[in-house]
Amino acid sequence: MADKSKTIIIKKTKKGHEGSHGGSWKVAYADFVTAMMAFFLLMWLLAMVSPEKRAVMAEYFKDYAIFEKSGKSFMEQSSNILPKPSVEAKSSASQEFAGGKNAETAEDFSKRLKKGIDEKLLGLKEHLMVDIVEDGVRIQLVDTEGKPLFHTGSAELSPSAKTILNFVADNIKDMPNKIAVEGHTDSSPLKTQQYTNWELSTERASSARRALETYGIGSGRIARVVGYADTQLLYKNDPTDSRNRRISIILLNEKVAKTSKQQTEITPIITTTVPVTSSVLKTTTTPPAVSRQEQKKSLMEPIVVKPGGPIEFNKPLTGPGTGK
């Protein structure tokens, strides 16, 4: 009878639905975090793009149709994405070239010059090349086969070269720009070693400079006259091409002209050589006010040079320029 008084308890547990998917929520959360990271990365990249490029890209995607342009990338139209120079940038470049707000721009001047070439130099048109470079506007007088601008191996101008230089001078003499004259040759060696393409190119540039001054260009406008020999070939694939023999006349913009002026404003230094008892020469600087007799007396003192040792003076130098 005692066994019948015991109570038997049966515990039953119900399984919920959470056990069926386990930790799949973690995968969804990871996808969400990845998407957010990609979104903020895209926002950061767009913030690094200039406003002009963003505007062009926005216009592209605004009219984009996947069915019309399927399989094509907008990178194929990269030239349309690059921003065009603003009006302010063009104005700044024009001022750097012309030296004033009301002056002619580099583009307008080159167009005007090309138009004048077509009208007045029709028979010599093949000798002229006009382009815009970093320094300014470049006018190149090039040789053509059978029609040289200079006599062979000489710096003497031909009648055709004088006609062209006269035309160029008429078109640039009223402009404020400084002028650089450069001479170039081809790679053909000269017959004599004492006279090389370096001397020839420099003398031809100087001849062109003298002609420009004769035709009305002030000598104060010449910024530099230099010869490059065959180091800057126009046609590198054919170093002996006659068109490599040329004269370049560059109308410098304001920035380059100021830099050239600063480089030339250097105080000259007068140097004299002191004779020594060995092959070593010593150069000292003396003021220009000292007379030649005083210089000779103070600088002709003998100097003894010992091998491997310092320079010793038999007699200490005195007088102007010696520090004593």
User: For residues 224 and 319, which has the higher predicted lDDT (pLDDT)?
Assistant: 224
For 255-296, the pLDDT digits (tens) are 666 665 555 554 343 333 334 444 433 444 444 555 555 555
79-93 burial code (b ≥16 CB/10 A, e <16): eeeeeeeeeeeeeeb
Residues 6+ apart with CB under 8 A from 302: 275, 276, 277, 314, 315
Q: What is the arithmetic mean of pLDDT over 128-138?
A: 90
Contact 222, 176 (CB under 8 A): no
192: pLDDT confidence band, cut at 50, 70 and 90?
A: confident
Amino acid 260: pLDDT: 59
Q: What is the arithmetic mean of pLDDT over 39-62?
A: 81
User: For residues 297 and 144, which has the higher predicted lDDT (pLDDT)?
Assistant: 144
Amino acid 184: pLDDT: 95
209: pLDDT confidence band, cut at 50, 70 and 90?
A: very high
Q: Element (H or E) spanning 208, and its range? A: helix 197-214
Q: Give the single-character DSSP code of 165.
A: H
**pLDDT at residue 22 is higher than 70:** no
